[in-house]
Every structure is written in C-alpha cells, then in structure tokens.
Structure 1
Amino acid sequence: MVRRSARLAGNTVEEAAPAAKKQKTTAQAVKPKQSTVDAKKESNDVKADTAKNTLEEGDEIPADLELENQDGESVNLLKLAKDAKVLVVFLYPKASTPGCTRQAVGFRDNFEVLTGLGATVVGLSSDSPKTQTNFKLKQKLSYDLLSDPSKKLIGPLGAKKQPNGIVRSDFIFRDGVLKVKRVGISPEKSFTGAVDEVKKLVT
C-alpha cells in the first residue's frame, strides 16, 4: 500500500509539473504580444504627431515663419505669399548641382510666363545666403532664393529627407494657403508642372 501510494504521489507531482510548465509558457506568450501592441501604439503616435506638424493642401503658412534670402534679408513667408496672391516655392537639394541647376534654370526660363499669370517665384534650399547669392548670379536667376538651414519650412512642407537631405518638390500658395503640393519630382516636371498648376489656379 505504501509503495502504491508513493507511486500515486509521484504521478501527481509529474502530472502537476507539465501543467505548471504549460501555464508558464502561456504567460510568456502573452508578454511579447503586449509588447508588440505597445510598439504599434507608439509608432502610430509618432505618425500622428508628424502628420499634425506637416502643412497639407488647405493649410495656411504659419504667421511667424521667417527665412533669409540670398542678401541676408529676413522674409516673412505668410506676408510674402499674401502680397504675391499666388506664390510658387520650389525646393532643390543643393545649389549648383546638375539637377538643381536644371530646375532653377527652368524656372528662370519660365519666369515671364509665371509672372504674366500673376505668380511670384522663389527657390528654397538649406544652402547659406552666400551660396544662394553665388548660384543666383552664376545662373542669372530672376527671382529670390531663400535659405533654410534649420529646415523651418522644409520640414513642415514634408520635404525633409533623413538625415540631412531635401526632397525635390514644389508648392503653390494662394493668399497664403497651400493649394498645390508636389513632393518628389524631377527638375523638368517641377517647372513645367508649376506653370500648368498656376494656370489652373488663375483661370
């Protein structure tokens, strides 16, 4: 009887051990799942914050946003846009590089067409005012170039490329409100498309 009882007791211990092991495994399986949910929530929070700080079509330029032009003069973007009625801002990654030169020259060659439609044109990059001056003089550009080294406007426009770059883009404002947003385009599509978009806005 003692042996049988001992054997039964042993079986009880052995049967209990897998159950405990199973319970532990189940607990471990739940923990990573919870971690994944938290990570997904954090990712969504970051995306929501980014979207909230990005200018989209229908948004107005922040009233306190100011940048320097090639002459080191401070320019209030909202005032410039409202005074211009229609403002075309084209972004280029780096002054005097081949693609950026084609883009800038394209806007230069279409400058009279755009101004004839009542639009004002400015170029924008993170280059210094001095670099912008050299670019403007060398290519005989008819419009101002704005300097945004801290990406105060480039970032909100959604054209900041990590870690320090800029996505070639153009934006058209009417009375200070963003009407056309085109991020990630070729130099040629930038100036030809801008002409077409301005025509749509003013006709």
Structure 2
Amino acid sequence: MSRLSAGDPAPEFSLADDTGATVSLADLRGRKVIVYFYPAAMTPGCTKQACDFTDSLASLQAAGYEVVGISPDKPEKLAKFRERDSLTIRLLSDPTKEVLAAYGAFGEKKLYGKVVEGVIRSTVVVDEDGKVELAQYNVKATGHVAKLRRDLQLD
C-alpha cells in the first residue's frame, strides 16, 4: 500500500453515490475536492465525522471545495445514513475497495492493539487540476474537520 503525497496525480474514480448516480473525480475537475475515507456508515466515529463535514459544507463550498466521503458500504446503506443523520455531503460506495487502495486508505492498521486489514481513516485534498494538494492518514474522526480547516487556512 503506497500513500499519496502532495503533487501526486490523484487516482481517478467513478463510484455510485447513495442515490445510485455515478460520481467521477473527472466530473469535479476545476474545483478543489476533499475526498475522505471512512470505515463504516452509521458507526459513532464515522457519524461524527460525516456530521462535521455536513456542518462545514456551506463554508467549504464557499471556499471552492467539494466534499465526498468514500466507504465500502453499499449505496442502500449510504442512503439510510444520509437520511438518518440529515447529511448533505456526497457519499460514495467502493465495495471492491479498489479506490480505497489506490488512495492508500486500505491496508494494515492497528485496532485495539491488534493488526488488522481495513479502511484507514484518511483525507486527501485534490486541487482543480487533479493533483494531490494534501494527504492525511490515520486521522481522528472527532475534530478532524476543524483541523483540516486550519491546515487549509480556512479559519
């Protein structure tokens, strides 16, 4: 598993969202895109993080950013997640984990002291030209959006 760094080309993707529509990174060219990877919809940490992104969405969009969250969950589960928590961010489904792996967000990690294979909570900011501007791995669910806003000098 290789991690991305600033200046790397962002791996292209086309994934289904929670409505079944296909969203491609190429469709978002010309805007900055915050792509965040999370383990599972409707779990406490992932819910907190998704709600934080939803709460910040208007100000992020005003600064020129789109936000997409990617997990291995199926679109049906993502739709329930969106509805249950009134989420306004786009949620994409990567059941094969190919996009997660391409972004370095799937692999070995420590969970409760054990080494397991799974989704590594990560955030990659892609610039208007499709290059990685910022890549953060093993981020915390709580407080991550506030830290990201500081790192992007939006606060």
Name the TM-score, length of structure 2 as normaliser. 0.85
Choose which of 116, 120, 123 in structure 2 pairs with 1:170. Answer: 123
CA positional deviation for 1:56 = 2.9
Match of 2:68 in 1: 122
Instruction: List structure 1 segments (4+ residues) > 4 angstroms apart after TM superposition.
Output: none
CA separation in 2, counterparts of 1:62 and 1:181?
13
Aligned length: 146
Q: Which has the higher helix share?
A: 1
Name the TM-score, length of structure 1 as normaliser. 0.66
The question of whether the paired residues in 1 share the 8 Å contact of 2:71 and 2:94 is answered with: yes
Choose which of 131, 154, 163 in structure 1 pairs with 2:77. Answer: 131
CA positional deviation for 1:118 = 1.3
Aligned-residue Cα RMSD (Å) equals 1.8
The question of whether the paired residues in 1 share the 8 Å contact of 2:45 and 2:142 is answered with: no
Match of 1:55 in 2: 4
Q: Which has the higher strand share?
A: 2
The question of whether the paired residues in 2 share the 8 Å contact of 1:60 and 1:178 is answered with: yes
Unaligned runs of 5+ in 2: 109-115
CA positional deviation for 1:142 = 1.0
Match of 2:24 in 1: 76
The question of whether the paired residues in 2 share the 8 Å contact of 1:126 and 1:147 is answered with: yes
Choose which of 136, 146, 151 in structure 2 pairs with 1:182. Answer: 136
Letter of the 2:14 counterpart:
E
CA positional deviation for 1:143 = 1.4
CA separation in 2, counterparts of 1:154 and 1:173?
15
The answer to whether 1:155 aligns with 2:101 is yes
Higher relative contact order (CA 8 A, sep 6+): 2
The answer to whether 1:105 aligns with 2:47 is no
Letter of the 1:69 counterpart:
D
Instruction: Report the 3-state secondary structure (helix = DSSP H, G, I; strand = E; otherwise coil) of the residue aligned with 2:98.
Output: coil
